Amino acid sequence: MPDLNELLRWSIANSQLQSSDSTDSSSQQQQEQQLSLRFNPASASAPSGHAATLHSSDAGPPDLSPASTPGPGTPVGDNEIPLPPVAKREDLTTEMLDLILGKSDSIIMKEKIAFAQDESQSVEDRVEALDDFEMLVELIDNANNMPILKLWDPLLSLLSSPHPEIVAHSLWIMGTAVQNNLKAQAALYIHNVFPHILSVLYPSSSSSTTHPSSVRAKATYALSSALKHWPLASTVLSSSSPSGYLTIKRGVVDSDPVVRRKMAFLLGTLVMQSGAMYEGEIPNEVRNLLEERMKETQGQTTESLVDGLKREGVFEGLIDELKRSKNEDDVDLEFEENAIRALAQASEKGGLTDEQKKDLRSVWTAWGVKGQEERGLEGEDGKVISSALNA
């Protein structure tokens, strides 16, 4: 069947106007006449006498819709119209492409760490670079890419910086990267970062470095993030030098109230996860690490977190701190709330002796209802603690 476009072209080419001697009215009508195509479907209710009925075995009419009917310029079969050649841009540099497309997070992370390590830059600019890096590792994929990009060792080297701001921001990055992230926690464990964090909190006697409160607070944050939900937390605290358990024991009675509060809260987290199975999905890399560690310690007795804390005297030291009489101005309500919650949980898990429970009940009773409310321990929370201490 002829192409519809061809039929339309033929009809236009063979159209003739009326003679010039026609009347004015006829001429005007001829000028206004427009070519149009009309489709008058046959009535379904009254078929014409010239209509034909297709048998069910007859082939249907060809599809003449514009979408399926090629026009005169449409390539058919192998006669395809070649695309014009695209000229290669020789004037585009890497810098121009970065401006157009933007750099990837991986490239930015490497640049920020390199800048932070450059001691020729100002401390303020280096801290800003670390601040940008910290925002990038808030994304779990970027945090997990740190081992691939070999960024853990450069970050670790910044802990020896003489500038407290650099050390504090480096610890902040570590805490953010591993928080609720088993894969990043495994990387921190593999790179043996724990002893470095502990040494920032409590430097060895041979070290002359003393870190300010802001740095030690960030170290506590990094330690807490690294241990929370980490299946090898007990192993880390037992094997780290200086001893991780000893660090927590010193931390819960630290003279710095910020460190003391954070350490008491961390203690409660460790007690809560002691003996508990991790219920989330474990990445294959972490699973392989755990299985390897199990083979290394096969046949050895592995103590729980509560047993390790009890053995090191952490609970005993914290109870003594709560028993110590204080002036009204010296009372730290947030610390005491974190402490009593942690100790009540330890009591439920067998971490306290009968004598220690008795001492703790005395502290709880001495606070009275008003003191308990001041520490946020009213209502159901108070009932839970009372029940744990009297069990």
**Mean pLDDT confidence for 324-353:** 90
Whether residue 151 sits in one domain with residue 190: yes
* pLDDT confidence bin for 93, thresholds 50/70/90: low
For residues 248 and 171, membership in a common domain is answered with no
Instruction: Name the range with the highest mean pLDDT among 31-40, 88-97, 164-173.
Output: 164-173
Q: Pick the range with the lowest mean pLDDT from 87-91, 137-141, 333-337.
A: 87-91
**Six-digit token pair at 200?**
């920032």
Q: How many domains does the chain have?
A: 2
Higher-scoring residue by pLDDT: 256, 47: 256
Tens of pLDDT, residues 6-26: 655 555 555 544 444 444 555
Residues 123 and 257 occupy one common structural domain: no
Looking at residue 194, its pLDDT comes to 92
pLDDT digits (tens, 9 = 90+) for 106-155: 999 999 999 999 999 999 999 999 999 999 999 999 999 999 999 999 99
Instruction: Give the Cα separation of 249 and 337 in Å (integer).
Output: 17
Do 191 and 254 belong to one domain? no
Residue with tokens 């960030």: 218
Task: Please state, in angstroms and rounded to a whole number, the distance separating the CA atoms of residues 291 and 276.
Answer: 18
- Domain of residue 149, residue span: 100-230
- C-beta of residue 233 within 8 angstroms of C-beta of residue 305: yes
313 and 224, same domain (yes or no): no
In-domain check, residue 147: yes
Q: What is the pLDDT of residue 238?
A: 85
Estimate the crossing angle of helix 182-190 against helix 284-296, to 10 degrees.
50
126 lies in the same domain as 198: yes
> Does the residue 93 lie in any domain?
no
